[in-house]
Structure 1
């Protein structure tokens, strides 16, 4: 990828990541505010699917930037600041963790079923709430780290 193409992809990735993180925060807040024994509304289920899609799209654009980052920026970043370099390496792990948790949360929510109100469904909904919350924290941390690094170094 040329630098002229990398810059807009990096900008798209950053904007998409922040939108996904804020959507995760809103979704996890909404899920926590619902009562423990209440079945989730159709709107919350749709929001869960859309938020998971946003996180996946953000991760995919990050994967597009991975090779150019390794080839062009990684060494410069570590030379500029070892702490920021290691922090950015952890950002990659946080992003992957957010993706894993958000996919598991959606699968748990879908497995809980819309109409079932048994003990297993309640447990799956509780697991989904927890996983979306963890994904939101991971995603927000990754966004903050990415923003800090982008203030110091760009493609």
Structure 2
């Protein structure tokens, strides 16, 4: 893959993405989504996209908010685990559908778990996280110990 320093090459576009990210985070907060769930969505999207930079960042953020190592360890297999609530499962399913629309399907039967405002906020969060993953991957952000 060609690495292009996107922040350096297009600083105005990068600035707009920063603003969009802030708006998506504010929308999640306004919709009453738990900050820890927001981090789980960011982590799951980054797992699907293979973005080590964002995985490290948001895993650390989730741990700082009190997330457990057990839940983080089984996040890629959330469907098979009993670690996640109905709301978390609905949010993860929606995030996966936004991230991989050709593979995933939109949530079915989760209407009672996420309100319309929460679903819209989580979908926007996933859209923005996908954009950040692409910036990090394209720019070749270094990740190391």
TM-score, normalised by the number of residues in structure 2? 0.33
Higher helix share: 1
In our comparison, the structure showing a higher alpha carbon Rg is 1
Taking structure 1 as the reference length, the TM-score comes to 0.31
